[in-house]
Amino acid sequence: MKRRFAHVRLAGLGVDRLLREQALADGIPAATVAPVRGRPVVIARNRAAAAAGVAVNQQLADARALCATLVVASVDPEADRRSLLALVEQCQRIAPWVGIDRDTGAHGHGLFLDITGCSHLYGGEDGMVRALSRLLARGAIRGRIAIADTPGAAWAWSHSGRRQSPILAPGEQEHALASLPVAALRLPDRDAQTLERLGILSIGALSAIPRHALRMRFGPGIGQRLDQAAGREPEPIEPLPPRSPMAAWADFAEPMVAPEGVVATLRGLLPRLALRLARELAGARRLELSVRRVDGSRDVARIGTARATRDVSHLAGLFAPAIERIDPSPGIERIWLEAIEVELLDGQPKPRRPGRDGGAGSRQGNSGHLAWRMAEGDALATLIDRLVSRLGADRVLRPALRESHLPEEQSEYRRAIDAPDGSPSPACGSAQADRPVRLFRRPEPIRFPAASHGSAAGPPSGFFWRGAFRRLSRIGDCERVIGPWWRSPPVADEIRDYFRVETESGERLWLVRSGDEAVRWSVHGIFG
Amino acid sequence: MFCSHDSSLATLRTRLADLGGLRPDEILFTGLATLDSRLPGGGLACGALHEFASEREADGAATALLAFLAGRLAEEAGSPILWVTRRDDLFPPGILRFGCPAHRLLLVRCRTRPEVLWAMEEGLRSPAVAGVVGDTESLNFTWSRRLQLAARRARRPALLLRDRAAPLEASAAATRWRVVSVPSAPGAGGGPGAPRWHLELVRCRGGAPRNWRVGFDASRGVLAESPGFAKVAPGVAETVLRGRR
């Protein structure tokens, strides 16, 4: 079988990422820069920038002078590498052997694919080029694709400016490459410059020179490149191993229509997934169960946990409410269970925490006489997971105290799934003042007859609230709360006067007077 | 068998405990001797449902008492309390004053009553929490029975806070209480003093109904007997003592 290779030349991963992250439209010029000898130099640019006159290896200052609206970002090799690896993973769905091109310059990127025997799956090599283009377009990555008999020829063809078609027919590469410049052979810079000085500009001219002369002057490298491009010498690519997903799946020869079948299959898949996780010493934080039916439709159920876990029964319990919503008809042909987010679990049994009261040395966790039921941290995370799976992560909360002038901001709630272990709040000054056990979200206004009108000194002696008339028997001191000055008005301008009061029947309320010209009295909370 | 009266009583007690009665490490003590001594077992039984009704809408007494009990439970057991509610006005700095620090609470906000019941059962089933507090207006008999069974199976207390003026229905709770705020002694500057409540044990399995007048000592964080009646307008005392059944 004739071998065929494809090369994808990635024009500028950094620029593509910049356009994606900042959601820039196509016509906006963008470039990535890196410091060269202390000065920022343009490394890659998009078409709009090139049209404005920005060139590679140009100083950024010059580029900005030519194009004032240029959007610039620094090169980020780590992010580029991550994008490249993600792209490799995608390309592995098209052809199994995908390798990274190491011959492109310091800031360029490329991929080699060995597509021998794969193109018929896409209806020919045209179809394969289209599939690859679609893949790049989906990721908003610019690239040029070429297919040829050898990696060297494909590399040269993808870098070539003038070409009718990205595909070089078998055996055509010698003829096609002859007119390309010498640099298309991936020669070291020094050799390429020397050849240029000597007047040897095209590959055709280079191949006409007798080999022994080239070897004497430049060493064996050039001859090797020529042979590799022509196909006389093999050039292997180093494929990256495919990343096997942390998943377990089941295919059904007969489409499954019974709803209990999903539950039963899940119970069989979870131990297999747990075994895979165990081999990596990991636990799952987020899992996804996807179901594919015979008519091509899919359904997905997702769960998350507060703590990485492999516990099969716990995960089965978390999936139970989500699975109930999956309708198997007209029939399920595949069920796929994957751990999307995975964390390392240390296999050590968790030691009993010495003191949960954070700091009070004398109180160990088991001094209370009911403490034989002291919980392990895992049991709490399990409970939180179960509550969250039915109610939602925003409704299982951990309260905490906060410093603030305004009473309604003196407490905050954090999602328990983010912080399963509560920690004692730092001692807040607000904890010293007397505060109500219930604080209404919005103070409830009170009405009072004009006779007992609230004077500037204190609250009215009798008023209507929640449909009943209440007469005050005790009125406490005034606590003035002034809005924090560092906030913007109207919060900053607020002045509230709070009074602890008691009615004749014994209810203890928190009255508040607010407003300057239009004085309003309301009940903000209830005391114990 | 022919031992002294005391030791035979003690033997009987241990035998009862072994047969499923109350063990000393399954009692939540309120810390008020006159209260505890009247309850079977010497305190609130852990494996049971206890109901605290408030009757008046704008009365924070039941909330405060439950905050106190939750704080005691969390401290004795060293693990958090699950507080299940449909309301959104629980205020942690106020709860803290009654002995329940914020980091001991795990708050669950539900939208419907079945969700409250489910969350309370989940909490009782888990070894991670010391007890469950449920904040709901009313609970029919079937649900109270379910909660009582769940609490008994888990040997953890379930405390129910019934906060609205809903008619009292039949309930399977081990103890049912009515908690009402009463006028307090004058505090600093003529304002309200320390919280004072009228506690009524309406129904108790193995005990007799009784009333108490208790106050809360915030400086020490304990309940205290508070028998003295402050000067109260006539008519209020009758309303308080002769509430509807």
Q: Which chain B positions have a beta carbon within 8 Å of A406's beta carbon?
A: none
Predicted pLDDT of residue A430: 47
A510 shares contact with chain B (CB less than 8 Å): no
Other CB atoms within 10 A of residue A68 CB: 8
Buried b (16+ CB within 10 A) or exposed e, B94-120: bbbbbbbbbbbbbbbbbeebebbbbbb
- The distance of B1 to chain A (nearest Cα, Å) reads 32
Would the pTM of this model clear 0.80, i.e. be above it?
no
Contact (Cβ atoms closer than 8 angstroms) between residue B80 and residue B129:
yes
Provide the chain A residues 91-120 that lie in CB contact (below 8 A) with chain B: none
Tokens matching residue A488 = 């913007």
The residue type found at A266 is L
Q: Does A411 touch chain B (CB under 8 A)?
A: yes
- Rounded to 10 deg, the angle between the A312-324 and A377-391 helix axes is 10
- The helix (run of H) or strand (run of E) holding residue A207 is helix A203-208
A393 touches B at CB < 8 Å: no
Q: What is the Cβ-side half-sphere exposure of residue A131, based on CA atoms within 13 angstroms? A: 19
The packing angle between helices A77-91 and A125-138, to 10°, is: 140
Q: Would the CB atoms of B78 and A366 count as touching at under 8 Å?
A: yes
Residues of chain A with Cβ-Cβ distance to B129 below 8 Å are: 375, 380, 383
Encoding tokens for residue B78? Answer: 């060293």
Using CA coordinates, name the residue in chain B closest to A437: B94
- Taking a C-beta distance cutoff of 8 angstroms, is the pair A280, A312 a contact? no
Integer Cα distance of A481 and A416 in angstroms: 31
Say if the Cβ atoms of A436 and B182 lie within 8 Å. Answer: no
Please tell me the predicted confidence (pLDDT) of residue B107: 93
Q: Which residues of chain B neighbour A399 with C-beta distances below 8 Å?
A: 90, 92, 102, 105, 107
**Positive or negative CA dihedral for B92, B98, B101, B107?**
negative
Would you call B78 and A368 a contact, using CB atoms and an 8 Å cutoff? Answer: yes
Tokens found for residue B42? 């010497």
Distance from CA of A318 to the nearest CA of B (A): 13
The tokens describing A379, both together, are 């049991």
How far apart CA A145 and CA A128 sit, in angstroms, is 10
What chain B residue is nearest to A355 in terms of C-alpha separation? B78
Q: How many Å lie between the alpha carbon of B97 and the closest alpha carbon of chain A? A: 8
Q: How many whole angstroms separate alpha carbon A98 and alpha carbon A10?
A: 14
Identify the CA nearest to A278 among candidates A314, A320, A246, A241.
A246
The C-alpha of A502 sits at a distance from chain B's nearest C-alpha, in angstroms, of: 6
Q: Do B106 and A501 touch (CB under 8 A)?
A: no
**Which ipTM value was assigned to this complex?**
0.82
Residue of A nearest to B235 (CA): A505
Judged by CB atoms closer than 8 Å, whether chains meet at A391 and B110 is answered as yes
CB contacts of A366 in chain B (<8 Å) are 78
Supply the pLDDT for residue A369: 44
How many inter-chain contacts (A to B, CB under 8 Å) are there? 242
Q: Is A476 within 8 Å of B65 when comparing Cβ atoms?
A: no
Q: What is the pLDDT of residue A355?
A: 37
CA B73/CA B50 separation, integer angstroms: 14
A434 and B115: CB-CB below 8 Å? no
Tokens of A22: 């900042």
Which residues from chain B sit within 8 angstroms of residue A392, using beta carbons? Answer: none
Which residues does chain B have within 8 Å of residue A373's beta carbon, measured at their own beta carbons? Answer: 77, 79, 127, 130, 155-156
Coil vs helix vs strand at B161: strand
CB atoms within 10 A of CB A226: 22
**Most A CBs within 10 Å: which of B23, B56, B98, B103, as the mutation test of the A interface?**
B103
The shortest CB-CB distance from B126 to any of A382, A413, A474 is to A382
Rounded to the nearest angstrom, the minimum Cα separation between B244 and chain A is: 16
Give pLDDT, residue B4.
55
Gap between the terminal Cα atoms of chain B: 46
Neighbours of A239 (CB within 10 A): 17
**Nearest-CA distance B2 → chain A (Å):** 33
Residue matched to tokens 């998350």: A304
The residue of chain B nearest to residue A364, with distances taken between CA atoms, is: B78
Tell me how many helices (H) and strands (E) chain B has: 7, 11
| C-alpha to C-alpha distance for A59 and A63, rounded to whole angstroms | 6
The pLDDT tens digits of the residues spanning B71-99 come to 988 888 888 999 999 988 899 988 888 88
- Pairwise CB contact (< 8 Å): A416 & B97: no
- Please state, in angstroms and rounded to a whole number, the distance separating the CA atoms of residues A8 and A160: 12
CB atoms within 10 A of CB B9: 11
Cβ-contact B201, B177 below 8 angstroms: yes
Judged by a CB distance cut-off of 8 A, whether residue A169 touches chain B is no
Q: Decide if B46 and A370 are in contact by the 8 Å CB cutoff.
A: yes
Helix (H, G, I), strand (E, B) or coil at A511: strand
Interface residue A400 vs chain B (CB under 8 A): yes
Whether residue A383 and residue B101 make contact (CB cut-off 8 A), yes or no, is no
pLDDT string in tens for chain B (245-residue length) = 454 566 677 677 666 655 555 555 678 888 787 888 888 877 888 889 999 988 777 888 999 999 999 998 888 888 899 999 998 889 998 888 888 888 889 999 999 888 999 999 999 998 888 999 998 877 788 888 999 999 988 889 999 988 765 566 777 888 888 888 988 888 777 788 888 888 888 888 877 888 888 888 877 777 777 765 443 333 333 334 443 33
Within 8 A of A466 by CB-CB distance, chain B residues are: 57-58
> pLDDT for B97-125, tens place per residue?
888 888 889 999 999 888 999 999 999 99
Strands (E), A328-433: 332-344, 396-401, 411-415
Nearest-CA neighbor of A494 among A503, A502, A484, A504? A484
Token pair in block for residue B82:
């699950």
CB A491 within 8 Å of CB A515? no
H-helix or E-strand spanning residue A389: helix A377-391
Structure tokens at A364: 């160990």
Residue B187 is predicted with a pLDDT of 78
**Nearest CA to CA, how far is A55 from chain B (Å)?**
59
Contact B108 A527 (CB under 8 A): no
CB contact under 8 A, B91 and A380: no
Helix (H) / strand (E) element for A221: namely helix A221-230
pLDDT value of residue B70:
92
Nearest CA in chain A to B181: A506
Residues of chain A with pLDDT under 70: 104-107, 346-377, 420, 422-432, 450-457, 490, 492
Q: How far is B3 from chain A (nearest CA, A)?
A: 30
Q: Do A441 and B89 touch (CB under 8 A)?
A: yes
**Pairing verdict, β A462-465 and A438-445:** unpaired
* B87: its two tokens: 């309301």
Both tokens assigned to A232: 């006389």
Phi, psi of A295, deg, nearest 5: -90, 10
Cα separation, A379 vs A375, in Å, equals 6
- Please give the pLDDT value at position B237: 34
Nearest to A45 by CA among A18, A78, A8, A65: A18
Residues 481-500 (A) with a CB less than 8 A from some CB of B = 500
